[in-house]
Amino acid sequence: MSEKSTPLLAVLQLLRKYNLKSTEDILRKEASLGDVECESLDLPEVELASILTAHHTESDPFTYELAYDGLKKFIENSLDLYKYELSTLLYPVFVHMYLLLILYDHVEHAVSFLEKFGIEQEDYYQEDLKKLSIVKHKDQIKGNELAEIYSTNKFTVQLSRDASSQLKRYLHEQKNSSVIINIINNHIQIEVHDGPGRTQAQVRATAGGVLGEPMKSENRTKVYYGLLKEPDIQVLPAPVEDEEEVEETPDKPKKKKAKKDNLFMKKPKSDPNAPPNDRIPLPDLKEIDKVEKGKALREASKRVQLGPDSLPSICFYTLLNSGHTAISCDICDDSTLLAVGFNNSNIKVWTLTPIKLRGMKSAEKLQDIDREAGDVLVRMMEEKDRDTCRNLFGHSGPVYKVAFDPFKTMLLSCSEDTTVRLWSLQCWTCLVVYRGHVWPVWDVRWSPHGHYFASSGHDRTARLWATDHHLPLRIFIGHYSDVDCIQFHPNSNYIATGSSDRTVRLWDCLTGSQVRIMTGHKSTIFTLAFSVCGRWIASGGSGGDMMVWDLSTGGPAASLPPAHTAPIHALAFSRDGTVLSSGSLDCTIKLWDFTAITDESPIEETLNNLIPKEDKYLLQSFATKSSPVKGLHFTRRNLLLAVGTYESSA
């Protein structure tokens, strides 16, 4: 297609779009265009619009600056009621003006435009502007990640009805506003909501996403955030208490009752928000898993109640001589094993208890074992080789995440080499290599019920897998940028993802669709944690900011004061859900009063007195000795375990 005929083709396409047949025919005749060219009319909407608008403004790059300045003045002078909502419009208009200037080869104007108005944009957009500022040629728009996101998607802005009518009136009155009208038509989705205009704080609470706020309709679906009924609870108490009787001293009758109360208080009341147990098929528990669950329950009965007055003890595991090489870690549910993934593709597993790590016997020897024997599991294991640390070799790139399965028989790891690997902790070998991600895999997590796991990566997708399938069961697509972290909901029905596009999304495992999109983070999200009750999700970002979201509404429940000064890479809820702990690269661990955070009534009502209360959220901060915190884990008894690497100043 020649350069000159492109505008003509665009006009033709426009005529066809509006079904103006006769005009189209006349134009075709006049321009003597062949059928072939006309058939292949499939210019993207965006390009079409930009080609057509070009005829107004192509010749005059100064209109952009004038128009933007005019819009800014109009917003500044409008009533406070509308001001803050309208100001969210400025950033997308600014970005698209810049891209249009680049598109029409007014590079120098574009640069001066960016330098003049770029500084005025919100601080959380500065990072993006820096990324965008490297685009200085129209050919570069195509390949650039961020520029493509902007030019192929619509930026969503929420305005109240009054504010949007004010805007309309302004745009009609102004002569040189056609540029803005075009941009708004092509690149901005204005969602009008009834009700008063929002305040500055309200606007700020949800602003920050790469493409603005989510549409209200996107968060309407009901989310079953309740917990599943524990299926094995009726089976289990008997064997559990049998074991307990062996260990415990005479005062156990009381304890037994208390424990029963504890365990049955929550469960029999079926949660109205809980999904049906068979909503997604869950694996049956094996006998050995039941024993493990029993242990967990017994431990849970000895749990310490935490609160502002009783803070947890923290045991810090320092990885010595690791420097920058240790990059991921996980502690298994019963806190007996520690796995660390390294920069050099290696994975190390340490035992944290005196029980040594044992391998399984070789196949020939296994055949000799009496399979009916009661202690067959013990006999399977090698007696001789016992270690406190074992290596797992197989990856060919940095291991970005390691994860123990709930029953501590398997380990998952994901790496820069685009694979996810499943390892056996009995024979200490790799069992499966899951290929599917095309680019580095950033995160992988087990379902709390085992069997399923989810991974996310640089290819902007999150995937749901089952251990017995080599292909993913679901692929969740929607993020505009890398999916940096992933987390399973405690009821295994949902997956939450956090991304570089500064949104947290919730996906339904059953349907594969997105059910929540939550904006408000001002930086890349690196870690997510579901509350114990399943209703809240906490997220931590690269700027050291933390937010807590309410899954029932999809809105932010609280934005915690920015206490950390470096990226947060670890979040953990205490087992009773009262304390949230966060660990960051600034070498601190902070404890937050989660009861206070969620006690706040929804954000709209308490917004005015929210700011002074924020101080109360932070319970305490513990500094480590130049050891960035890379992992946090609450034991079943509510002892906090933290993992970090000692980085000497040299």
Partner 1 sequence: MGDSELAYGSSLTLDSMKVIAESVGIATLGDDAAKELADDVTYRLKVIVQDAMKFMHHSKRQKLSITDIDHALKIKNNECQYGFIQPDSLPFRFASGGGRELHFIEEKEIDLSEILSAPPPKVPLDVSVRAHWLSVDGVQPTVPENPPPLSKEAQKLESVDPISKLSKPSNKDSAGKPICGKAARLKASESVHVKQLATHELSVEQQLYYKEITEACVGSDETRRAEALQSLACDPGLHEMLPRMCTFISEGVKVNVVQNNLALLIYLMRMVKALLDNQSLYLEKYLHELIPSVSTCIVSRQLCLRPEMDNHWALRDFAARLMAQICKTFNTSTNNLQTRVTRLFAKALQCPSQTNNETGPSMASMKESEKTPLASLYGAVQGLAELGPEVVKVFILPRVRWLGERVEGALSGIGGADRLAAGNLKHQLLKVLAPVVRQLRQPPDQPEDYKRDFGYLGPSLQQAVSKIRSSPSCSTAGGAVAVVTCTPPLLPTAPSPSPSNISHTTKTETVTTRNLVIASSTPQSPAPSTPPPQKFVIVASQQKPTQIQSSSGTGHIVVHSSQPTIVRSQNVQSVVVTSGPAPGGAAQKVMVVGVQPQHNQGQAPVSVVAKPVFARGGGGPQPPPELDDLSHLA
Q: Contacts with partner 1 in 424-483 (CB under 8 A)? A: 439-440, 442, 458, 482
184 vs 163: CA distance, rounded Å: 15
190 vs 227: CA distance, rounded Å: 37
606 vs 84: CA distance, rounded Å: 19
Residue 302 engages partner 1 in binding (rule: CB under 8 A): no
Task: Write the CB contacts of 627 (distance below 8 Å, at least 6 apart in sequence).
Answer: 316, 318, 587, 644, 645, 646, 647
Residue window 399-418: x/- pattern of binding to partner 1, with contact defined by CB under 8 A = -x---------------x--
Task: Give the residues across from 591 on adjacent strands.
Answer: 581, 620
CB of 56 or CB of 625, closer to partner 1: 625
We find the least distance from the C-beta atom of residue 639 to partner 1, in angstroms, to be 10
Kindly give the pairing relationship between strand 483-488 and strand 494-499: antiparallel
Residue 320 engages partner 1 in binding (rule: CB under 8 A): yes
Residue 508 engages partner 1 in binding (rule: CB under 8 A): no
Residue 395 engages partner 1 in binding (rule: CB under 8 A): no
Looking at 224-232, 303-311, 405-413, 604-612, which segment touches partner 1 (CB under 8 A)?
Answer: 303-311
CB of 283 or CB of 561, closer to partner 1: 561
**DSSP 8-state symbol, 257:** H
409 vs 428: CA distance, rounded Å: 10
What are the strands of the beta sheet with 410-415, ordered from one edge?
399-404, 410-415, 419-424, 430-435
Among 283, 394, 397, 561, binds partner 1 (CB under 8 A): 397
**DSSP 8-state symbol, 63:** H
The conformational region for residue 521 under phi > 0 = left, psi -120 to 50 = alpha, else beta, is: beta
For the segment 56-85, give every residue that binds partner 1 (CB under 8 A): none
We find the least distance from the C-beta atom of residue 619 to partner 1, in angstroms, to be 8
CB of 127 or CB of 162, closer to partner 1: 127
216 vs 542: CA distance, rounded Å: 27
195 vs 173: CA distance, rounded Å: 25
For the segment 225-284, give every residue that binds partner 1 (CB under 8 A): none
We find the least distance from the C-beta atom of residue 331 to partner 1, in angstroms, to be 11
Residue holding tokens 């020897």?
365
Looking at 87-95, 302-310, 377-385, 466-474, which segment touches partner 1 (CB under 8 A)?
Answer: 302-310
Q: How many residues bind partner 1 (CB under 8 A)?
A: 76
The phi, psi pair for 201, rounded to 5°, reads -65, -40
Residue 313 engages partner 1 in binding (rule: CB under 8 A): yes
Looking at 12-20, 35-43, 466-474, 624-632, which segment touches partner 1 (CB under 8 A)?
Answer: 624-632
For the segment 528-557, give every residue that binds partner 1 (CB under 8 A): 542
Q: What size, in residues, is the chain?
A: 650
For the segment 548-607, give every residue that binds partner 1 (CB under 8 A): 566-567, 569, 585, 589
For the segment 332-361, give every residue that binds partner 1 (CB under 8 A): 338, 340, 342-343, 348, 350, 352
We find the least distance from the C-beta atom of residue 150 to partner 1, in angstroms, to be 15
Residue 520 engages partner 1 in binding (rule: CB under 8 A): no
CB of 512 or CB of 561, closer to partner 1: 561
DSSP string, 380-442: HEEEEEEESEEEE---SS-EEEEEE-TTSSEEEEEETTSEEEEEETTT-SEEEEEE--SS-EE
Of the candidates 573, 570, 616, 624, the one whose C-alpha atom is nearest the C-alpha of residue 597 is 616
For the segment 197-216, give every residue that binds partner 1 (CB under 8 A): none
Kindly list the distances between the CA atom of residue 508 and the CA atoms of 225, 495, 505, in Å, as whole numbers in the listed order.
11, 7, 10
We find the least distance from the C-beta atom of residue 265 to partner 1, in angstroms, to be 26
Among 11, 184, 211, 327, binds partner 1 (CB under 8 A): 327
Task: Write the CB contacts of 616 (distance below 8 Å, at least 6 apart in sequence).
Answer: 593, 596
For the segment 114-143, give every residue that binds partner 1 (CB under 8 A): 114-115, 118-119, 126, 129-131, 133-137, 140, 143
Looking at 4-12, 248-256, 599-607, 613-621, which segment touches partner 1 (CB under 8 A)?
Answer: 613-621
Looking at 177-185, 363-371, 393-401, 513-521, which segment touches partner 1 (CB under 8 A)?
Answer: 393-401
